[in-house]
Chains A and B, each alone.
Chain A
Amino acid sequence: MNIVACLKQVPGTTEVKIDPKTNTLIRQGIENIINPFDTYALEEAVRLKDKHGGKVTVVTMGPPQADAALREAISLGADEALLLSDRAFAGADTWATAFTLSRAIVKLEKIDLVICGRQTIDGDTGQVGPEMAEMLTMPFVAYVSRIEEIKEAYLRVSRMTEEGHETIEATLPAVITVAKEINVPRVPSLRGIMRSKSAKILTWGIQELGVDKDSVGLAGSSTQVIKIFFPQRIHKAEIFSGDLEKQADALIDRLKSARIC
């Protein structure tokens, strides 16, 4: 099986702090990591390869520094790595990102399965996987929590919805996004780390992809950010007073006016 795992390099946002004076993100000391959800995609790809043979190619779009994420992916079992990097790719929304990734994937040797994380932890959209599936004209299944069976022409998966678990069959090649319930990612092996240091990372820009610069990056994006602001955080709690019943009434009243209950 030829499997592609898509990944994105993101700032480790669990540690994101806001500078209270300037109201801006503090980036100092925050390391770039592989988007945590994508590590499950990579792990599943490597497990499938171990079971069924074939190879795992990791693909990312990003600045030249994203090379580090790809090397880490190699240390975790990926065979080949492709970096899509070009100044023209900057400022891409989900459509332009999916388009760029899909143009790269069609250029690779016959792909059976594309695996993505369910969403990134910086953008949080979860849109690139399904958008890419349409651009590749492949079937799509979201939130996969288990791959039950995989055969020449189809795969059967279990996926999570709000109400429970669905078993879905899809023809191959296909695109899936995975939830973190699917596996426990491994830690890099010593051999993997050694290999990642010397591995060759293929880099493609718009020339290699053969795409028009108007269809990628900012130029290819239909959406536009017009304003950024910070959510108000109340730091002083409203402490209710009066007898117990009054306090309970006051609380329920606040929750009702905030349309919570």
Chain B
Amino acid sequence: MSEPGIKVNPDECIGCGNCTSACPFGLIEIVRGKAVIKEGCTFCGACKEACGYYAITIETPEKAAAPEKASGVWVFAEQRGGAIKGVSFELLCRGRELADNLKTELVAICFGNNVQGADRLIAHGANKVYLVDSPDLADNPEDHLTYKLVEMVREYRPEIVLAGATALGRAFIPRVAAILNTGLTADCTGLDIDAEKRLLLQTRPTFGGNIMATIICPNKRPQMATVRPRVFKKGNPDNNRKGQILKIDFKKDGFTARTKLLNFIEDVTERVKLEDAEIIVSGGRGMGKPENFKLIAELAEALGAAVGASRAAVDEGWIPYSHQVGQTGKTVCPRLYIACGISGAIQHLAGMQTSDVIVAINDDPNAPIFQVATYGIVGDLFQVIPMLIKKLKQE
């Protein structure tokens, strides 16, 4: 077998350029009549498919097959202060479907101190809960979590391990994957199963959300992924569902901890950080005066959202600069962006147009904001916003 990688056979390539326009990353150039593949290739195979002359070959290195023993889908059920986080239930809901597809069990792994409601993990789909409850695990010590999870994976051999792409999950799950020498896909927004090959199809945004990539881990187990919170639905609990809660011992003597939490200060000033917010309600020049931003704050409150603003509103001094969204402010990518009284200057659009769903509320039907919006309400925002608040409160 030749060297792994992608090659253009110069004898077959006619320089037609089909591959150039097929490469999603724009990495192929025709140089002196032959295709040249530049650095940065992900070996996705789009060019190979587009080439009518079989001039492009991709050699993947031969690797040992995945161990057959591995079975079961694991969900790391994150908790904080004993309370299980919402993302854990979202992962269980999707995890249940994946496990059913693979005809295997779904297991929730929960580390903490005095964890409340472990039975809810069963109601949300787990067949089994491995509960590691110890005072030494109270503050989610990442060193302990890392080495204990590694130990458990080695003992029980799951085929899939999922965790929330939270600050905690994104910090310690890669360490687990590094030690286990297996693949890990970050920040997935889609998970599916190839049942025949028992593969987890992991889809994630890349290049700032401009491109989606589906990734597999064919030869190593477990297949690991972190998943963005609020991508999957939570599902309704079924309190009649039966399952086992198995308590697992934790003795910290066996583990080295080289980091120590000394102090924690809860953020109260900025309840929801703009850049990390799942939902943002923004106000622009159409708000008219600073007092009217209260309406924006009320709508944000009703949705559990952060408050943003256009440059115009900031320049007017209606709201501090830290709330500004746009080219000279913050770039945001929430699941929902509600633009109120914002016309949609290109500089503002640059900071928010990759949001999943954009709602525009404006009295001018020709405002450019409607060109990037998913949904629009044309009308007086001083009537529309109070109506939305009223309706949301009724929910």
Query: A residues touching B (Cβ–Cβ < 8 Å)?
Result: 13-14, 16, 18-19, 21-28, 62-63, 65, 87, 90-91, 93-95, 98, 121-127, 129-135, 139-143, 156, 160-171, 174, 214, 217-219, 221-231, 234-235, 237-240, 244-245, 247-249, 251-252, 254-255, 258-261
Chain B residues, CB < 8 A from A235: 371-372
Using known A-B contacts A169-B260, A224-B216, determine if residue A244 contacts B383 with beta carbons closer than 8 Å: yes
Of B8-16, B35-43, B243-251, B286-294, the segment with at least 4 beta carbons within 8 Å of chain A is: B35-43
Chain A residues, CB < 8 A from B154: none
CA distance A84 to B174 in the complex (A): 22
Q: Can you list 17 A-B contacts with CB-CB less than 8 angstroms, sorted by A residue number?
A: A21-B21, A24-B24, A95-B177, A124-B187, A134-B146, A141-B259, A142-B167, A143-B171, A160-B167, A165-B264, A168-B261, A226-B201, A227-B213, A237-B360, A239-B378, A248-B391, A255-B357
CA distance A169 to B336 in the complex (A): 37
* CB-based contact B267/A94 at 8 Å: no
CA distance A24 to B260 in the complex (A): 46
Chain B residues, CB < 8 A from A225: 42-44, 213-215
Chain A residues, CB < 8 A from B265: 164-166
* 6 A-B pairs closest in CB distance: A222-B183, A139-B258, A223-B183, A125-B186, A142-B171, A130-B174
Chain A residues, CB < 8 A from B115: none
Q: Shortest CB–CB separation between residue B374 and chain A, in angstroms?
A: 5
Residue B142 lies at the interface, judged by CB distance under 8 Å to chain A: yes
* CB-based contact A222/B370 at 8 Å: no
* CB-based contact B167/A24 at 8 Å: no
Q: Shortest CB–CB separation between residue B140 and chain A, in angstroms?
A: 9
Q: Which of B22, B60, B142 contacts A218 (CB 8 A)?
A: B60
Q: Shortest CB–CB separation between residue A244 and chain B, in angstroms?
A: 5
Residue B321 lies at the interface, judged by CB distance under 8 Å to chain A: no
Chain A residues, CB < 8 A from B314: none
Q: A169-B260, A170-B258, A230-B24 are in contact. List 4 more A-B contacts (CB 8 A).
A: A16-B208, A124-B205, A223-B183, A225-B44
Interface string of B342-357 (1 = CB under 8 A from A): 0000000010000011
Using known A-B contacts A166-B264, A247-B379, determine if residue A231 contacts B205 with beta carbons closer than 8 Å: yes
* CB-based contact A168/B260 at 8 Å: yes
Q: Which of A167, A245, A261 contacts B264 (CB 8 A)?
A: A167
* CB-based contact A239/B387 at 8 Å: no
* CB-based contact A261/B336 at 8 Å: yes
Using known A-B contacts A16-B207, A229-B212, determine if residue A161 contacts B185 with beta carbons closer than 8 Å: no
* CB-based contact A214/B61 at 8 Å: yes
* CB-based contact B44/A228 at 8 Å: yes
* CB-based contact A252/B374 at 8 Å: no
Q: Shortest CB–CB separation between residue A174 and chain B, in angstroms?
A: 8
Within 8 A of A (CB), among B342-395: 350, 356-357, 359-360, 365, 370-379, 383-384, 387-388, 391-392, 395
Chain A residues, CB < 8 A from B267: 163-165
Using known A-B contacts A142-B171, A225-B215, determine if residue A24 contacts B26 with beta carbons closer than 8 Å: yes
Q: Shortest CB–CB separation between residue A137 and chain B, in angstroms?
A: 10
Chain A residues, CB < 8 A from B279: 260-261
Size class of the B contact interface (CB-based, 8 Å): 35 or more
Residue of A nearest to B331 (CB): A14
Residue of A nearest to B258 (CB): A139
Chain B residues, CB < 8 A from A162: 166-167, 276
Residue of B nearest to A260 (CB): B336
* CB-based contact B210/A25 at 8 Å: yes
Residue B168 lies at the interface, judged by CB distance under 8 Å to chain A: yes
Residue B219 lies at the interface, judged by CB distance under 8 Å to chain A: yes
Chain A residues, CB < 8 A from B27: 27
* CB-based contact A168/B262 at 8 Å: yes
Q: Shortest CB–CB separation between residue B224 and chain A, in angstroms?
A: 9
Chain A residues, CB < 8 A from B179: 134
CA distance A65 to B179 in the complex (A): 32
CA distance A240 to B230 in the complex (A): 26
Q: Which of B22, B166, B217, B375 contacts A222 (CB 8 A)?
A: B217
* CB-based contact A26/B213 at 8 Å: no
* CB-based contact A222/B219 at 8 Å: yes
Q: Shortest CB–CB separation between residue A251 and chain B, in angstroms?
A: 6
Chain A residues, CB < 8 A from B395: 252, 261
* CB-based contact B208/A95 at 8 Å: no
Residue of B nearest to A138 (CB): B258
Chain A residues, CB < 8 A from B5: 87, 90-91, 217-218
CA distance A89 to B212 in the complex (A): 23
Chain A residues, CB < 8 A from B374: 234, 237-238
CA distance A231 to B186 in the complex (A): 18
Chain B residues, CB < 8 A from A123: 206
* CB-based contact B215/A223 at 8 Å: yes
Chain A residues, CB < 8 A from B205: 124, 231
CA distance A124 to B186 in the complex (A): 8
Within 8 A of A (CB), among B181-202: 181-187, 201
Q: Which of A93, A222, A230, A239 contacts B211 (CB 8 A)?
A: A230
Residue B233 lies at the interface, judged by CB distance under 8 Å to chain A: yes
Q: Which of A222, A237, A255 contacts B373 (CB 8 A)?
A: A237
Residue of A nearest to B305 (CB): A261
* CB-based contact A94/B213 at 8 Å: no
Residue B335 lies at the interface, judged by CB distance under 8 Å to chain A: yes
CA distance A221 to B184 in the complex (A): 10
Chain B residues, CB < 8 A from A221: 183
Chain B residues, CB < 8 A from A95: 177-178, 181-184
CA distance A171 to B287 in the complex (A): 51
Q: Shortest CB–CB separation between residue B248 and chain A, in angstroms?
A: 22
